[in-house]
Amino acid sequence: LDRPSTPPGVSSPDFPDGDAGWPATTGEVRTQGTFTLASGGEKDVVTYEYWMDSRPDPVKVDAPSPGADADVKLTPNWAGPQNLYVRSIDRAGNRSDTRTYLFYANSLSEPDKPGDINGSGNADLWGIDGKGILHRWRDQGDGTLKDDPKRASNTTWNNAQVTHRGDWNGDGDGYLDTSRDPVLIGDTGADHVTLAAPGDFTGDGRVDLLVRGESSGGNLYVYHGGRPDGIGIGNPEHRTRIGWNWGTDTVPLFTAAPDADNNGKLDLWATTAGSGRLRFFANHTADGPEKVTAVSEAFAGYRSLG
């Protein structure tokens, strides 16, 4: 079979080759970069085919002339190591071996705000509906929401719960670390409650915890941050009541945005018993919310918010 005998070359001024390790200078996640695909000296190459770990479907780009380089614009979706895979194709449609180009993307120099799942600058909402479908609801900057038309996952989430997390230990990461041992944050009254993460409600530099009593007439409390590693955050001696009559019979589901309208104050989203209405509780303090508005009627049967 007469096909390109040399895999294509790949280079990028924005995301340099990472075979020798993480480069001292490289681009940030969600930042577009230029990648040059070269024929590797093969004169009959007319097309390049490429794909990434995050985009597994191959994409084709034509060479400007036989054997010439082609530039493509790509944006990495996550920080850290990732691969770009490239093959060249000659006039007869024969493909070369695959070239794997390892590169690294730095984390964002300015981290996303808590709750922001798409880099828009607004806190967003995850939700699992009655069929177990995971939805991404995009905040519009004022507490109103739009359901992303693209399905968030092909997996059924029937037995799952979702939540946003803040930075528990000050390392800059907002994800749940499943590789470490759990930390006991409290040892009393943790059954029949709902938890939510409001961020730093008190302004003392440590994340706090929302706790809702699920029984009829249950109250909503903010538990003030304990130690930097989270220990002690569940101590009922350090809590403030911020809501009354928040049991599941009146508020089936709720979550902290924590700041959906970008004014630095705590906001909550909550469903309504007996309907599909989602309410937005804006600017919540120890005296309650400044205002409550209906932002959607599409939440009937939802199983989880986060």
Residue 163: C-alpha distances to residues 4, 11, 20, 23, 303 (Å):
50, 40, 38, 34, 12
Q: Are 101 and 122 contained in the same domain?
A: no
Per-residue pLDDT of the chain (306 residues; tens, 9 = 90+): 578 889 999 999 999 999 999 999 999 998 999 999 999 999 999 999 999 998 999 999 999 999 999 999 999 988 999 999 999 999 999 999 999 999 999 988 877 777 777 778 888 999 999 999 999 999 999 999 999 988 888 888 887 777 655 444 443 444 433 334 444 445 555 568 888 888 778 777 778 888 999 999 899 998 886 666 666 666 777 788 999 999 999 999 999 998 999 898 999 999 999 999 999 999 998 888 999 999 999 999 999 998
Are 281 and 160 in a shared domain?
Answer: yes
Tell me the DSSP string of 38-66.
E-TT-TTEEEEEEEESS--S-EEEE-SST
- How much is the pLDDT for 168? 43
Last residue of a domain, one of 105, 129, 155: 105
My answer on whether 92 and 140 are in the same domain is no
Is the overall model pTM greater than 0.85, yes or no? Answer: no
Predicted pLDDT at 72:
98
Q: In 3D, which of 61, 80, 77, 66 has the Cα closest to residue 10?
A: 61
Residues 156 and 278 in one domain: yes
- Residue 174 has what pLDDT? 46
Asked if residue 303 is part of any domain, the answer here is: yes
Q: What is the pLDDT of residue 52?
A: 96
Number of domains in the chain: 2
Backbone angles phi, psi at 195, to 5 degrees: -110, 150
Please check whether residues 180 and 83 belong to one and the same domain. no
Of the candidates 49, 80, 105, which is a domain's last residue?
105
Q: 105, 123, 155 — which closes off a domain? A: 105
C-alpha triplet 154, 294, 275: angle, nearest 5°: 65
pLDDT of residue 172: 41
Question: What backbone torsions phi and psi does residue 278 show, to the nearest 5 degrees?
Answer: -105, 125
Asked whether residue 4 is assigned to any structural domain, the reply reads no
Q: What angle do CA 252, 254, 260 make, to 5 degrees?
A: 150
What is the number of alpha carbons within 13 Å of residue 252 lying toward its C-beta?
Answer: 15
Check whether residue 101 and residue 115 sit in a common domain: no
Q: State which H helix or E strand residue 220 sits in.
A: strand 220-223
Main-chain dihedrals φ then ψ at residue 305, nearest 5 degrees: -125, 150
Residue 2 in any domain: the answer is: no
In this structure, are 198 and 223 located in the same domain? yes
Same domain (yes/no): 150, 236: yes
DSSP letters, 123-153, are --EEEE-TTS-EEEEEE-SSS-EEE-SS-S-
Dist CA 129 CA 53 (whole Å): 29
- H or E segment to which residue 284 belongs: strand 278-284
* 1 within some domain: no
Expressed as residue numbers, the domain containing 101 is 9-105
pLDDT given for residue 155 in this prediction:
83
Strand, coil or helix: 164: coil
